[in-house]
């Protein structure tokens, strides 16, 4: 049983849902990334998604793309990210999951990437550009090592294909709320709950919803149908202020925002 399996088993037993923040490693630098991870943990987030900067992100909107560019411009490398998480992860209650392009995994070597990530305290990977038809080699290593491989299902995924994706995934299933790219939205699709309910009837994996979630009302709306909610652009946008405002102030703003979302999740 992986760390994520245990987490969601405990959350279900406690009738709780997971709020999963997304942040970009190295934006504006890895020291601040470490501080944000500690802040999110202190707020009570059960899980965090850490984006590995990549020059050609497949589904990220302008806010997250810009954060990747800032991190890459400052020469943020995978080895440096792993060194940071190796130091920070043991101090956290929440597990860390990476969001990573398959090209990075492949270039590192599948077994080597998984081993290095685990040694650095990372418990799983979301790989958005890995087609299910090509996922078997990575899925095999991840299952053997109890390292979760989280894959994505979108509203446009054919249903037969969605089932195949669920069968090759471990940890949880990432359900993309909208067809398009990441980013804050005022409204979510009317058929979102229905689509998630269809998927839930066909997999035992926890289902976490991402893309577009940014407001406490979104959290209240989706909590009944999801096991977890992923919030990225709204947090990354706040982190972007760290070069223009005192960093303690930015951390306080992030904490206040996260507490609002956690309050909505529990209401």
Tell me which residues are annotated as active site.
49, 60
- Please tell me what DSSP assigns to residue 97: E
> Do the Cβ atoms of 40 and 89 come closer than 8 Å?
no
* 55 secondary structure, DSSP code: S
Write phi, then psi, for 133 (nearest 5 degrees). Answer: -65, -20
Instruction: Phi first, then psi: give them for residue 152, nearest 5 degrees.
Output: -110, 140
d(Cα 27, Cα 33) in Å, to the nearest integer?
7
Q: How many CB atoms lie within 10 A of CB 13?
A: 8
Backbone angles phi, psi at 223, to 5 degrees: -55, -40
Strand order in the sheet with 228-231: 148-150, 122-126, 96-99, 48-51, 18-24, 228-231, 207-210, 173-176, 152-153
For 2, 50, 94, 104, 243, the CA distances from 110, given in Å and listed in that order, are 18, 19, 25, 9, 35
Element (H, E) at 77: none
């Amino acid at each position: 049983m992986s760390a994520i399996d245990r987490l969601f088993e405990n959350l279900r037993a406690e009738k709780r849902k997971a709020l999963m923040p997304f942040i970009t490693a190295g934006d504006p630098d890895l020291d601040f990334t470490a501080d944000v991870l500690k802040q999110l943990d202190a707020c009570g987030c059960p899980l965090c998604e850490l984006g590995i900067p990549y020059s050609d992100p497949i589904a990220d909107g302008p806010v997250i793309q810009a954060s990747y560019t800032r991190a890459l411009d400052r020469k943020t490398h995978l080895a440096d990210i792993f060194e940071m998480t190796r130091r920070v992860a043991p101090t956290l209650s929440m597990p860390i999951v990476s969001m990573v392009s398959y090209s990075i995994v492949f270039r590192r070597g599948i077994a080597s990437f998984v081993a290095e990530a685990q040694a650095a305290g990372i418990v799983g990977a979301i790989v958005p550009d890995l087609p299910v038809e090509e996922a078997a080699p990575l899925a095999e290593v991840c299952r053997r090592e109890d390292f979760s491989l989280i894959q994505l299902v979108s509203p446009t995924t054919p249903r037969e294909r969605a089932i195949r994706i669920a069968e090759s995934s471990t940890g949880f299933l990432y359900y993309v709320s909208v067809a398009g790219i990441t980013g804050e939205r005022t409204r979510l699709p009317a058929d979102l709950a229905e689509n998630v309910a269809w998927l839930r009837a066909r997999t035992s994996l926890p289902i976490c919803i991402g893309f577009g979630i940014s407001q406490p009302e979104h959290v209240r709306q989706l909590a009944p149908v999801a096991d977890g909610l992923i919030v990225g652009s709204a947090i990354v946008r706040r982190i972007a202020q760290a070069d223009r405002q005192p960093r303690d102030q930015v951390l306080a703003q992030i904490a206040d925002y996260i507490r609002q979302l956690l309050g909505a999740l529990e209401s």
